[in-house]
Amino acid sequence: MSFTPGLPHLIHSTLPPFHAPTPDGATVELNTTQCQEWEHAHHLLFHLGNLSLLLGLVVPTTLGLHMILLRLLLMTGCSLFIAWATLYRCNLDVMVWNVIFLLVNFMHLFYLLYKLRPIKIDRELRSVYKRMFEPLHVREALFQRLTGQFCTIQTLKKGQAYAAEDKTSVDERLSILLKGKMKVSYRGHFLHNIYTNSFIDSPEFRSTEMHRGEKFQVTIVAEENCKFLCWSRERLTYFLESDTFLSEVFRYLIGKDITNKLYSLNDPTLSDKALKKMDRQPSLCSQLSMMQMRNSMASTSDTDDVLNQILRGGSAESSFQKSLETKLSSKMKPIEESMEDDVFEEPAPSHQLPDSSTEKV
């Protein structure tokens, strides 16, 4: 196989010259390209484009709008590259790629700005959001999702009933009073009032989470023209299962509302302003007491006695505690007094009794 000196130059390499041996011992140097002379620096637009990309990549993530700044700087860099490739290099592929990058960043920027748009909450729901949900860092967009899909605003005229004892099911809804005042009573006896920006049926909602199909044990009547926000219980429960944060928010709000109602039950003279100052986390004891008062009163035989004590100013907790002690005392065998004393009495040191037969007089 012979090597023709006039072979066309087909191979381009940046490696050092490669000398191919020939049969006659001569060597022919192939054509090579080396960086023997550097080109002049590109136009200022090229450097400004790279500087814009660099600034976009070093934007700290601690800034609230860092993603928007990143997209703006990337779009600026792409625009400068397009101008440089079109005006000074006449390079079509560089221009096309940067046009694609520019469009992608523009669409992402539009999406980010759309997410930051101001959310307009209905005027009737603004006070509920400001009072109950905003202090717990619930964003307006999430609140709008909560109230916009499966929530309705309903009205009651003065004297109309929201729930009737032993008739209305507790499984249907959960409501927040937006306007007006409601009265809660049991067998014609006044228990407490419900004011604006508070749940109407929070004790029933909490107490029947595990037991469905129960009825209201109290009557709730509108004392004024009322307007309330109403959720379908089934759809609300399904929505809260998909959002852990909002589920915890509802657990806190419902527990707090139960505590406020318990204080109103113990002291019916409390006003709405006094209830607003009660912002502590409810204990299990207070929640159980409230649920017993509004859901389980009819299930006990001593309900009338407990209710009379409450109406006379007694405590709900102490009333139920006494009734519970009465039930337990009737079912348990009493402990003899001598045995009870022995339990708490420290054992006395043993002394040997003198033998009467050996005692000397």
**361 residues of the chain, pLDDT tens digit each:** 444 444 444 444 444 554 445 444 444 454 555 777 777 778 888 889 899 999 999 988 888 888 999 999 999 999 999 999 999 888 899 999 999 999 999 999 999 998 888 888 888 899 999 999 999 999 988 998 888 877 899 999 999 999 998 888 888 889 999 999 999 998 888 888 999 999 998 888 887 777 777 888 899 999 999 999 999 888 888 889 988 999 999 999 999 999 888 887 765 554 555 544 444 444 333 444 444 555 544 444 444 454 455 444 444 444 544 554 454 444 444 444 444 444 444 455 544 444 444 444 3
Neighbours of 328 (CB within 10 A): 9
Same domain for 155 and 199, yes or no, is yes
Contacts of 88 by beta carbon, 8 Å cutoff, 6+ apart: 42, 43, 45
Same domain for 70 and 162, yes or no, is no
Whether 197 is covered by a domain: the verdict is yes
Same domain for 131 and 73, yes or no, is no
Whether 147 is covered by a domain: the verdict is yes
Given 263, 282, 298, the domain boundary residue is: 298
Beta strands in 116-243 (DSSP E): 151-156, 161-163, 173-179, 182-186, 189-194, 198-199, 219-222, 226-232
Given 274, 298, 322, the domain boundary residue is: 298
| 171 class by beta-carbon count within 10 Å (0-12 exposed, 13-18 middle, 19+ buried) | middle
Same domain for 149 and 253, yes or no, is yes
Same domain for 87 and 141, yes or no, is no
Whether 24 is covered by a domain: the verdict is no
Whether 198 is covered by a domain: the verdict is yes
- pTM assigned to the model: 0.55
Same domain for 139 and 169, yes or no, is yes
Distance, in Å, from the CA atom of 150 to the CA atom of 232, rounded to the nearest integer, reads 7
As beta bridge partners, residue 293 has: none
Cα-Cα end-to-end distance for the chain: 148
Whether 263 is covered by a domain: the verdict is yes
Same domain for 132 and 163, yes or no, is yes
Same domain for 105 and 238, yes or no, is no
As beta bridge partners, residue 304 has: none
Report the number of distinct structural domains present in the chain.
2
Whether 327 is covered by a domain: the verdict is no
Same domain for 92 and 194, yes or no, is no
Let me know the angle formed at the C-alpha of 87 by 81 and 90, rounded to the nearest 5 degrees: 90
CATH at 166 = 2.60.120.10
Same domain for 58 and 149, yes or no, is no
- pLDDT value of position 123: 85
- pLDDT value of position 32: 53
Whether 343 is covered by a domain: the verdict is no
Given 298, 323, 344, the domain boundary residue is: 298
Q: What is 216-249 written as a DSSP string?
A: -SSEEEESS-EEEEEEEHHHHHHHHHT-HHHHHH
Range of the domain at 81: 44-115
Whether 69 is covered by a domain: the verdict is yes
Same domain for 147 and 284, yes or no, is yes
Q: In the Cβ-directed half-sphere of 47, how many Cα atoms lie within 13 Å?
A: 4
Same domain for 195 and 245, yes or no, is yes
Contacts of 166 by beta carbon, 8 Å cutoff, 6+ apart: 215, 216, 217, 298
- DSSP letter at 169 equals B
- pLDDT value of position 266: 63
